[in-house]
Structure 1
Amino acid sequence: MAKAVLLLLALLPFPSLALNQDFCIADLPQAAVTADDFYYSGLAATGPPIAPFNVGLSSAFAARFPGVNGLGISAARADMAPGGVVPLHWHPLATELLLVIDGSMVCGFISAALNKVYARTLHKGDLMVLPQGQLHYQYNLGNATAVALSSYSSSNPGIQILDFALFANDLPSEVVSKVTVLDEAQVRKLKAMFGGSG
């Protein structure tokens, strides 16, 4: 019995050996860390508007808020003017939990396995979870600005917006047309709108 307990203890990691530091502020050594690294006011106001979507986005990811680096959390704020939209996008590295803090919006995602849409109308105080890697969107339903606060299961959730992925690149328009079945003239128009070339 004593040998079994010793064997079990030998196999279990000791917390003091398994964790060599409490946190990791970006690339700073712990000695250079200050309380300011754990404080961020960047979500207090809306971010700059993103054309043509009529939405302002602010993020508290590790690049802007060093205190979250390595902790598996981050946040963002979306302010959608009437008619505003957060276009189809996905976070390859995190699940998102969205909380409506003002107004109302439709929020939905498309499952990768079934191509099924899961959407709900959300009002102030409502939550919706958006699984990691799934295409999702939000749009404002009302006549006033709608505001949402999102939290993520990663300090750097990553983001790829479908419109920018398709039209803000240098992939030739004829190739985009072939792989999307969109008319090449429409692809060129969208590339001009989103700053792409080709």
Structure 2
Amino acid sequence: MLATFCTLFITIVVLVSSLGNASDPDPLQDFCVAVDDYKAAVFVNGKICKDPKLVTANDFFFSGLNKPGNITSPVGAKVTKVFVDKMPALNSLGISLVRIDYIPKGLNPPHMHPRASEILVVMEGTLYVGFITSNPENPNQMNKLFAKILHPGDVYVFPRGLIHFQYNVGKTNGVAFASLNSQNPGVVTLANALFGSNPSIYSDVLAKAFQVDKKLVDCLQSLPWRQN
């Protein structure tokens, strides 16, 4: 009788704990519009799963991160991504990787990853890196900047969803590798998103938000914004 009671008690505790810890999974896509059509395709983390019998070693393989990225962007940096679209086996594993190359004074512009934290290790160069905290509850406090100069071998962490950047303050090219805890972390580059959106945001909105003249916003929106 006592053994039966103990077994029942443990079962109840496990069930309650499971319900208490249950929650919706983190979104891995920007949005997912609900549809009642039963014929619609079903995705797992935004991808259709490959038949396990057809999986090969190449699905788990990516080559080329030993080579410098081709830096052509005006900001002087190139991000080479190893996300799920480049390495299919990353699907459902919750990890991804990037290589970032910088010319002297090259910048990985202020941006955020809505679905991932990031840990960065410097291989070459001298980088000024940092992130900014979210809007404070106390309106008298400014958004706080956490920044530091990094040298080869140094590591820095950028918390999920916070604006961050890297700038090569050295006189030689820089290289860094970063890992993110999402197969598809998403990237929102602030300047590109605000001044290069399609269609364009009303310039009056941006002029008031940045407290600048509307002509300056018009000028910024006319530039050929593109990802690095």
TM-score, structure 1 normalization: 0.85
User: How far apart are the structure 1 equivalents of 2:192 and 2:161?
Assistant: 17
- Where does residue 72 of structure 1 map in the other structure? 94
Counterpart in the other structure of 1:143: 171
Q: How far apart are residue 7 of structure 1 and its match? A: 4.9
Q: Does structure 1 residue 193 correspond to structure 2 residue 215?
A: no
Q: Which has the larger radius of gyration?
A: 2
Partner of 2:3: 2
Q: Equivalent residue for 1:16?
A: none
Q: Using the TM superposition, give the Cα deviation of residue 120 of structure 1 relative to its aligned residue in structure 2, in angstroms.
A: 0.5
Alignment match, 2:57: 35
Output the CA distance in 2 between the equivalents of 1:117 and 1:25: 34
Q: Is the alpha carbon distance of 1:153 and 1:63 closer, same or farther for their aligned partners in structure 2, counting shifts above 3 Å?
A: same
Indicate the residue corresponding to 1:127 in structure 2: 155
Query: Does 2:176 align with 1:177?
Result: no
The correspondence for 1:90, drawn from 106, 112, 123, is 112
Match of 2:133 in 1: 111
Structure 1: stretches of 5+ with no match in the other structure: 14-23
Q: Distance in 2 between matches of 1:113 and 1:185?
A: 28
For 1:178 and 1:146, locate their aligned partners in 2 and report how far apart those are by CA, in whole Å: 37
CA distance in 1, matches of 2:163, 2:184: 17
Aligned to 1:20: none
* Residue of structure 1 in register with 2:196 after alignment: 168
Q: Cα distance, 1:84 vs. partner?
A: 0.3
Specify the alignment match of 1:99 in structure 2.
Answer: 121
Name the aligned partner's letter for residue 84 of structure 2. Answer: A
Q: Gapped runs of 5+ residues in structure 2?
A: 19-44, 137-142
Moved over 4 A (4+): none
Q: Residue type of the partner of 1:143? A: K
Higher deviation after alignment, 134-143 or 42-51:
42-51
Residue type at the aligned position of 1:2? A
Backbone CA RMSD of aligned residues: 2.3
Q: Tell me if the contact between 2:104 and 2:169 (Cα under 8 Å) persists in the aligned partners.
A: yes
Q: Percent identity?
A: 37
Cα deviation for residue 25 of structure 1 reads: 11
CA offset digits 1:34-83 (Å, max 9, x no partner):
10010111423233435221101100111111121111111101101011
1:136-177, CA deviations, whole angstroms, 9 ceiling, x for partnerless residues?
Answer: 011001111111100011111111000111111111222221
CA distance in 1 between partners of 2:46 and 2:202 (Å) = 41
Task: Give the letter aligned to residue 194 of structure 1.
Answer: P
Alpha-carbon contact 1:96-1:129 (below 8 Å) kept:
yes
SS in 2 for 1:49: coil
Q: 3-state DSSP class of the match of 1:179?
A: helix
* Corresponding residue for residue 153 of structure 1: 181
SS of structure 2 residue aligned to 1:193:
coil
Deviates more, 1:165-174 or 1:71-80: 165-174
